[in-house]
Amino acid sequence: MVKRESIEFVESHKTIRELVTKFGGQPVWVGEPQWPISKSTGKPMRFICQITINSERFSPVAAQMVYLFMTDGEEYVDGTWEADGGENAVILQPGKTNVKTEPLAEGPTIYRMVKKLFHKRLVPESCEFSVALKLAEDPDFVEETERSKWDEAAWEAYASKLDGNKIGGSPIFIQSTEFPRPGKWRLLLQLDSTKVPFHVNFGDAGVGYLFLSEDGQVAKFLWQCS
């Protein structure tokens, strides 16, 4: 079994300025700002969240905080699903980064679509959420070669236990198994775009996966959709 923390989103009506796990708003940097830049557009990526690293669960880890960004704007950009495509970025602080960044304290953040007076269509509104975490356990990750031997009922029972938004635990992939390469990786965040109170573009009912390398030196993100 693998420990996980299920995520409940709690809307914040005031700016969160602490070094805590949160979604949206603006990053609270451990060190100097390192805002990643889109490879194709040259513009700042959109901030999705910051995740506090539990040093006991993910030891040995020097980083205190992980910041997740993805290219998402008026221009369509392909490749945001790729771990090394240059259209999403994970910043570890303290730590090294291999993506282009700029020292911006603020930039684009997540939003939701809302009704507003004098507007015929829904309009985007920036938002920010703290989290309430509930500790639980996931079954160990099972390779596809083993799962292929299961009947449909066994697979559905297993998958249901891994579903949802969570920190840590075992990933449940929509498509085939897809860990970053090379090396071994641990799931840090699983984010289901159909079960969040804000907009995030992971394709058609997609799920995002944020991984931390076994030595805690590198973090990478990818997403899959149906």
User: What integer pLDDT is reported at residue 226 of this predicted model?
Assistant: 87
User: What integer pLDDT is reported at residue 145 of this predicted model?
Assistant: 80
pTM of the model: 0.95
Provide the mean pLDDT of the chain. Answer: 93
Quickly state the pLDDT bin for 210 (edges 50, 70, 90): very high
State yes or no: pLDDT of 180 exceeds 90. Answer: yes
Question: Measured between alpha carbons, how far is 118 from 99 in angstroms, rounded to an integer?
Answer: 41
Quickly state the pLDDT bin for 23 (edges 50, 70, 90): very high
Contacts of 97-103 with C-beta under 8 Å, sequence gap 24+, read 97/34, 97/36, 99/36, 99/37, 100/36, 100/37, 100/39, 101/34, 101/35, 101/36, 101/37, 102/35, 102/37, 102/44, 103/32, 103/33, 103/34, 103/35
Structure tokens at 36: 């990643």
State yes or no: pLDDT of 17 exceeds 90. Answer: yes
State yes or no: pLDDT of 73 exceeds 90. Answer: no
State yes or no: pLDDT of 119 exceeds 80. Answer: no
Give me the CATH topology for the region 2-224: Hypothetical protein YwqG fold (2.30.320)
pLDDT tens string 150-162? 888 988 999 999 9
User: What integer pLDDT is reported at residue 49 of this predicted model?
Assistant: 98
